[in-house]
Chain A
């Protein structure tokens, strides 16, 4: 399984495991949004 893509300015690549962990933490509070999937 591959990690999601991260873009930093014009560079696009797969997230490292550390970046993926940060990504997961960043969206952890997303459940309070109205009707977001």
Chain B
């Protein structure tokens, strides 16, 4: 079969064709009303080494908020470095954290939307988890923000938590996809 596959109506899909699907929706979680943090359990498993997390929709109670990301019960050991540039221009600004209590600012949240895309490498494996992410502040004085980092332990994780650093969040969806090994 061609890549990408050209499925036709009524076609019987073989195991080989289905096993070639590269990205699989593992879990979709709707964010509730006025919550300060959201934990998604059973997000990671031995089925996949690497995952994509997409958060979209919803709103924050504040005009310029950020959401932090943590894994399982890990309360320290989060390393990250990143850079952002505002839409109005100016210089690229770098920032970082070492051995922090979360990956900070992974998702942007405003009264317009909550958004961000994250790739995690090896969250379930007993290895360091590696993160790369991008989010955009959806407001006229906003910016685009890229980050990378890792979690300095080799614990196997199954759950993730996003936490509002200010105010609370309502609505939107957290989707977790597994990259086929």
Interface, chain A (partner B; CB < 8 A): 4-10, 12, 15, 22-23, 25-30, 32-37
Kindly list chain B residues whose C-beta atoms are within 8 Å of the C-beta of A28: 101
Report yes or no: B93 in contact with A7, Cβ–Cβ below 8 A.
no
16 contacts between A and B (CB under 8 A): A5-B35, A8-B38, A9-B41, A10-B30, A25-B75, A26-B75, A27-B68, A29-B101, A29-B102, A30-B66, A32-B105, A33-B105, A34-B93, A34-B143, A35-B137, A37-B167
18 other A-B residue contacts (CB within 8 Å) besides A28-B101, A34-B95: A4-B36, A6-B35, A6-B39, A7-B37, A10-B30, A12-B32, A15-B36, A25-B75, A26-B102, A27-B163, A27-B166, A29-B97, A34-B145, A36-B64, A36-B66, A36-B165, A36-B166, A37-B64
Residues of B within 8 A of A (CB): 29-41, 62-66, 68, 70, 75, 84, 86, 93, 95-97, 100-102, 104-105, 137, 141-143, 145, 161, 163-168
- How far, in Å, is B139 (CB) from chain A's closest CB? 9
CB closest residue in chain B, given A20: B36
